[in-house]
DNA sequence: ATGCGGGTAATGTGATCACAAATCGACACC
DNA sequence: GGTGTCGATTTGTGATCACATTACCCGCAT
């Protein structure tokens, strides 16, 4: 629902000159999809999730408002919402920035993922039809391609999409939302990691997971997912130190 | 940090008549503690957490704004934040209400608690000094008193405080925040449950948890917490059906 | 050269207003 | 009597504005 694949809606760059008119709103919302604050929210969320924002980067309300062609009010709501989810940090003075994660925090987030995601995968297992497994295989091939070509952004994006596609079958929206919250928090740091050290050899736990999925092996699936999750984040906590 | 015990700050009932003045803000924030939207947030959060709001209850922006003596802007931010945490539901037309949980959703939330909270307890275990255990014992005695006197609101409040006090020692803020998010979602339904069926016999898993804590028995602690968490929510999913 | 201070620009906060949609009511009509 | 419809009020949304505060930057003095 959130990870709108397809085309990543190009920034509208709306002309936006209505100091007088108010009926423009309808047009705007029709174009974007929903309310203004939701457009802003999704835009920022995607940027954070895909790592298009480095840890510590600052954001101004007037900046995001102007960028999306809306006023400060919906911009503030979107920023606050992201902050509530841990995707953005607000200093005591109100400045917003992408959070810089301490090693302890990274370990914690990894543990949370290691708790939630195997459970999500296990719940998806009995509902995993053949077509889903095929789709996951194709996705994993795509990921490998990005990995080979060194496209970090595409790799991160594909990886998230892979996990999300699998977990959607679990029919556990609250649990999935929690997992996505964690992804959101690690987004900026993950991207910074891959961009810095490149992504040399990452063990293909996705393949293991797919095999376990096809075999109906719940224990194996849980292990594969746990290993996959742990790998990404321990890499981060090891290498993330020298950047501070 | 959020569960401000002590006196539950009496609603200020601020006179609030500044159609002209703007310097009043400073006074207001000094009184409440922080910014306006945070005061509203904490106020609503406490109401939800303690079950002072029934599932399905509606909330209007102007209503909460007037109640707290602020304008609509901070009221909206607070409501949106709660909605982002799942504590409030927003319909397609924008109406906000306390969420009504389906049995599936309750099972899901129980599973999340059963995943997160034993882990939090286990992490608190090695750091649990004698004084903490003593404090938990006193808290549990308080809870038993509320249980005997049939004070559902105080029981819910004490129960949350007990868990929170223990988990704080885990030094895992992100994990704790996730757990609190779940509590927030179950708040209205929990209270409605206790108010409806009374709280007859609830097994004292808290005592078991305290004993395991004192003995340094991690496995026992995990089991006790899991059982405690499961008990509360399965009761809810069993009894919650006839209310719909 | 570096540390410090002052002033200006930028930023977050919150109030107010205008507007569109939705909700609820009454009233008329079948 | 039930039902549909029209109207008024309520409600959320978003834009704009005023203000306090903070951050940034330039210049000065040591």
Which token pair is A39? 């457009």
Assess A86–B contact: CB distance below 8 Å, yes or no: yes
The minimum CA-CA distance between B51 and chain A, rounded to whole Å, is 20
Residue B231 pLDDT: 83
Q: Are B84 and A84 inside 8 Å of each other by CB?
A: yes
Q: Which residues of A touch B79 (CB under 8 A)?
A: none
Q: Is the CB of A26 under 7 A from strand C?
A: yes
pTM of the model: 0.82
Whether A243 has a pLDDT exceeding 90, the answer reads no
Do the beta carbons of residue B92 and residue A93 sit within 8 Å?
no
Whether A42 has a pLDDT exceeding 50, the answer reads yes
The minimum CA-CA distance between A81 and chain B, rounded to whole Å, is 6
Q: Is the CB of B72 under 7 A from strand C?
A: yes
Residues 6+ apart with CB under 8 A from A159: A143, A232
> Comparing A4 with A25, which gets the higher pLDDT?
A25
Query: Mean of the pLDDT values across residues B13-42?
Result: 55
The model's confidence at residue A198, banded by pLDDT at 50, 70 and 90, is low
Query: Mean of the pLDDT values across residues B141-154?
Result: 84
Mean per-residue pLDDT over chain B, rounded: 81
Whether B244 has a pLDDT exceeding 80, the answer reads no
Whether B24-97 shares its CATH topology with B103-243 is answered: no
Residue B87 pLDDT: 94
Q: Is the CB of A92 under 7 A from strand C?
A: no
Least confident of A81-95, A115-129, B198-212: B198-212
Alpha helices in chain A (DSSP H): 24-32, 36-49, 61-68, 72-84, 103-124, 130-149, 152-168, 173-197, 205-215, 218-239
The whole-number Å distance from B34's CA to D17's C1' is 23
> Comparing A67 with B24, which gets the higher pLDDT?
A67
Q: Are A174 and B84 inside 8 Å of each other by CB?
A: no
Least confident of A85-89, B73-77, B240-244: B240-244
Any idea how long chain A is? Answer: 244
Do the beta carbons of residue B74 and residue B40 sit within 8 Å?
yes
Assess B86–A contact: CB distance below 8 Å, yes or no: yes
The model's confidence at residue B196, banded by pLDDT at 50, 70 and 90, is low
Do the beta carbons of residue A114 and residue A230 sit within 8 Å?
yes
Q: Are B174 and A112 inside 8 Å of each other by CB?
A: yes
Q: Are A178 and B112 inside 8 Å of each other by CB?
A: yes
Least confident of A25-29, A54-58, A110-114, B114-118: A25-29
Give chain B as a 3 state SS string. Answer: CCCCCCCCCCCCCCCCCCCCCCCHHHHHHHHHCCCHHHHHHHHHHHHHHCCCCCCCCEECHHHHHHHHCCCHHHHHHHHHHHHHCCCCEECCCCCEECCCCCHHHHHHHHHHHHHHHHHHHHHHHHHCCHHHHHHHHHHHHHHHHHHHHCCHHHHHHHHHHHHHHHHHCCCCHHHHHHHHHHHHHHHHHHHHHHHHHCCCCCCCHHHHHHHHHHHCCHHHHHHHHHHHHHHHHHHHHHHHHHHC
DSSP string over A121-174: HHHHGGG--HHHHHHHHHHHHHHHHHHHHT-HHHHHHHHHHHHHHHHHTT--HH
Closest nucleotide to A59 by C1' from CA? C11
Residue B201 pLDDT: 62
Task: Return the residue in A73, A113, A178 with the most chain B beta carbons within 10 A, the one to mutate for interface testing.
Answer: A178
Radius of gyration in angstroms for the set of CA atoms belonging to chain A, rounded to a whole number: 19
Q: Are B111 and A85 inside 8 Å of each other by CB?
A: no
The whole-number Å distance from A71's CA to C24's C1' is 32
Residue A43 to residues A28, A65, A134, A180, B116: CA-CA distances in angstroms?
15, 11, 30, 16, 30
CA gap A126, A149 in Å, rounded: 35
Q: Is the CB of B81 under 7 A from strand D?
A: no
Whether B220 has a pLDDT exceeding 60, the answer reads yes
The minimum CA-CA distance between B141 and chain A, rounded to whole Å, is 32
Whether A3 has a pLDDT exceeding 60, the answer reads no
Among the partner residues B80, B174, B175, nearest to A80 by beta-carbon distance: B80
- For B4, what's the count of Cα atoms within 13 Å in the CB-facing half-sphere? 12
Residue A1 pLDDT: 39
Chain B residue closest in CA terms to A109: B174
Residue B6 pLDDT: 24
Segments making up each domain of chain A, as ranges: 24-97, 103-243
Radius of gyration in angstroms for the set of CA atoms belonging to chain B, rounded to a whole number: 19
Task: Return the residue in B84, B89, B90 with the most chain A beta carbons within 10 A, the one to mutate for interface testing.
Answer: B84
Whether A180 has a pLDDT exceeding 60, the answer reads yes
> Comparing A197 with A187, which gets the higher pLDDT?
A187
Least confident of B19-33, B162-176, B216-230: B19-33
Residue A60 pLDDT: 95
Closest nucleotide to B79 by C1' from CA? D12
Residue A197 pLDDT: 62
CA gap B213, B118 in Å, rounded: 12
Q: Which helix (H) or strand (E) holds A199?
A: none
Query: Among all chains, which residue has been given the structure tokens 């719909």?
Result: B244
The model's confidence at residue A15, banded by pLDDT at 50, 70 and 90, is very low
Whether A95 has a pLDDT exceeding 50, the answer reads yes
Selected from 1.20.120.160, 3.40.50.300, 3.30.930.10, 1.20.120.530, the CATH number assigned to the domain covering B103-243 reads 1.20.120.530
The model's confidence at residue A237, banded by pLDDT at 50, 70 and 90, is low
Query: Mean of the pLDDT values across residues A79-91?
Result: 94
Residue B150 pLDDT: 77
Q: Is the CB of B22 under 7 A from strand D?
A: yes
Protein-covered nucleotides on strand D (Cβ within 7 A): 10-23
The model's confidence at residue B29, banded by pLDDT at 50, 70 and 90, is very low
Whether B21 has a pLDDT exceeding 60, the answer reads no
What are A113-167's pLDDT values in tens digits? 999 999 999 999 999 999 999 999 999 999 888 888 878 788 888 989 999 999 9
Q: Are A111 and B105 inside 8 Å of each other by CB?
A: no
Residue A190 pLDDT: 81
> Comparing B150 with B144, which gets the higher pLDDT?
B144
Q: Is the CB of A44 under 7 A from strand C?
A: no
Q: Are A174 and B116 inside 8 Å of each other by CB?
A: no
Residues 6+ apart with CB under 8 A from A144: A204
Query: Mean of the pLDDT values across residues A34-61?
Result: 91
Query: Is 1.10.10.10 the CATH number for A24-97?
Result: yes
């Amino acid at each position: 629902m959130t990870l709108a694949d397809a085309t990543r809606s190009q920034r509208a760059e709306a002309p936006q000159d209505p100091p007088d008119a108010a009926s423009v709103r309808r047009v705007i919302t029709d174009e974007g999809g929903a309310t203004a604050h939701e457009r802003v929210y999704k835009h920022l969320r995607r940027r954070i999730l895909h790592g298009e924002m480095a840890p510590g980067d600052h954001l101004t309300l007037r900046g995001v408002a102007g960028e999306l062609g809306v006023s400060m009010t919906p911009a503030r709501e979107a920023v606050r919402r992201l902050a509530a989810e841990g995707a953005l940090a607000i200093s005591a003075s109100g400045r917003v920035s992408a959070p810089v994660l301490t090693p302890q925090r990274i370990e914690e987030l990894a543990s949370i993922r290691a708790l939630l995601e195997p459970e999500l995968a296990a719940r998806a297992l009995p509902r995993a039809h053949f077509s889903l497994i095929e789709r996951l295989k194709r996705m994993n091939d795509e990921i490998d391609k990005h990995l080979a070509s060194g496209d970090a952004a595409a790799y991160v994006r594909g990886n998230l999409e892979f996990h999300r596609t699998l977990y959607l079958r679990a029919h556990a929206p609250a649990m999935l939302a929690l997992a996505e919250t964690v992804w959101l928090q690690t987004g900026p740091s993950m991207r910074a990691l891959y961009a810095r050290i490149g992504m040399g050899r990452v063990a293909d736990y996705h393949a293991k997971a797919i095999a376990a999925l096809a075999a109906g092996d719940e224990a194996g699936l849980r292990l594969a997912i746990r290993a996959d999750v742990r790998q990404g984040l321990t890499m981060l906590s090891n290498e993330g130190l020298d950047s501070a």
